[in-house]
């Protein structure tokens, strides 16, 4: 305490703005990351797709994904609280009792604000993963909720997709602490496959499937963002709790959280 007062007095005496001394813990310590090697995935866009005026499931496409680094854990309550304390993030609708647990009840805008703040604090560029990066990082945890069928009955197709989504989703419950879950996926990431879905930078897509099966994408709708979890879902970007509404496509997530990709 005496050292801090001396340092503060010195700063005032020499007129150095922003000079300060503190023994407090760094509010933005470097996050543990996992390196994901470049690969090609079978990617299926999610959104609204039609063929001859009828709703259809879009075909899978081979999509190359460049190598990247991603946080091993989801952003925790204490990590997000540091951003709130700095005035760079809005307080979440729910704060974990244990600061080490994942922060949930955050919107896409909240997650993006944290990425911007965290980039400034660490001197590295951080962002939300795009949907292809998230799929590659999730590895065996990724579940494709789409059901391809030649049935002309849209009701039967919808029921099959619903059943598939329920199987992938599992049962809701209190938000789980990803750092305490036993094991991790094959890439070493924790929290995947639990009941916390993660925001990505991906947007809801629209498109047309031609007679030869070619997919023609229209302009994306980026007020709705893709979230990754046991299944994918498209959620309106300002929603913090999709279980009570705001899910544009797919079954709603149980909880909304996030992790970031490190660019540099």
Q: What is the pLDDT of residue 164?
A: 45
Backbone angles phi, psi at 41, to 5 degrees: -115, 160
β-bridge pairing 33-36 and 233-236 = unpaired
Quick count: other Cβ atoms within 10 Å of Cβ 172?
12
Q: Tens place of pLDDT for every residue, the chain, 264 residues?
A: 344 344 444 344 434 333 333 333 444 567 999 999 999 999 998 888 888 888 888 888 899 999 999 999 999 999 999 999 999 999 999 999 899 999 999 999 999 999 999 999 999 999 999 999 999 999 998 876 554 444 455 554 444 445 445 444 454 455 555 554 445 899 999 999 888 999 999 999 888 888 887 888 888 999 999 999 988 899 999 999 988 877 766 678 889 999 999 997
Whether the model pTM is above 0.85 = no
- Among 3.30.780, 3.30.70, 3.90.1580, 3.40.50, name the CATH number for the domain at 33-262: 3.90.1580
Q: How far apart are CA 71 and CA 94, in angstroms?
A: 22
Return the structure tokens found at 134.
């998230």
Q: What is the pLDDT of residue 184?
A: 86
Return the structure tokens found at 101.
């647990």
Contact 7, 20 (CB under 8 A): yes
User: Burial level of 108, CB count in 10 A (0-12/13-18/19+)?
Assistant: buried
Q: What is the pLDDT of residue 145?
A: 55
Per-residue pLDDT of 197-217, as tens digits, reads 999 999 998 888 888 878 888
Per-residue pLDDT of 77-130, as tens digits, reads 999 999 999 999 999 999 998 999 999 999 999 999 999 999 999 999 999 999
Q: How far apart are CA 196 and CA 242, in angstroms?
A: 11
Q: What is the pLDDT of residue 183?
A: 58
Per the document, the length of the chain is 264
For the chain, which residues make up each domain, given as ranges? 1-30, 33-262
Long-range contacts of 78-83 (CB under 8 A, 24+ apart): 79/28, 79/31, 79/103, 80/106, 80/114, 82/27, 82/28, 83/113, 83/114, 83/117, 83/118
β-bridge pairing 196-209 and 221-228 = antiparallel
Q: What is the pLDDT of residue 176?
A: 59
Q: What is the pLDDT of residue 28?
A: 57
Q: What is the pLDDT of residue 80?
A: 97
Q: What is the pLDDT of residue 244?
A: 82
Question: What's the order of all strands across the beta sheet hosting 126-127?
Answer: 33-36, 68-71, 261-262, 126-127
């Amino acid at each position: 305490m005496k050292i801090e007062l001396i340092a503060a007095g010195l700063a005032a005496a020499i007129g150095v703005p922003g000079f300060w001394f503190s023994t407090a813990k760094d509010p933005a310590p470097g996050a543990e990351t996992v390196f994901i090697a470049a690969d090609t995935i079978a990617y299926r866009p999610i959104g609204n797709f039609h063929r001859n005026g009828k709703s259809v499931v879009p075909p899978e496409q081979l999509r190359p994904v460049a190598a990247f680094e991603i946080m091993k854990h989801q952003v925790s309550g204490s990590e997000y609280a540091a951003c709130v304390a700095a005035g760079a993030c809005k307080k979440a609708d729910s704060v974990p009792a244990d600061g080490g647990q994942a922060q949930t009840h955050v919107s896409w805008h909240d997650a993006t604000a944290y990425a911007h703040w965290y980039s400034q604090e660490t001197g590295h560029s951080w962002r939300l993963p795009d949907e292809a990066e998230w799929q590659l990082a999730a590895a065996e945890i990724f579940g494709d909720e789409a059901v391809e069928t030649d049935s002309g009955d849209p009701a039967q197709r919808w029921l099959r997709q619903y059943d598939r989504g329920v199987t992938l989703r599992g049962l809701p419950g209190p938000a789980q602490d990803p750092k305490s879950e036993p094991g991790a996926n094959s890439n070493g990431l924790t929290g995947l496959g639990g009941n916390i879905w993660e925001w990505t930078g991906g947007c809801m897509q629209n498109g047309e499937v031609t007679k030869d099966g070619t997919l023609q994408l229209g302009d994306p709708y980026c007020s709705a963002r893709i979230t990754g979890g046991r299944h994918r879902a498209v959620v309106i970007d300002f929603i913090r709790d999709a279980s009570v509404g705001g899910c544009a496509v797919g079954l709603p997530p149980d909880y909304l959280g996030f992790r970031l990709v490190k660019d540099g």
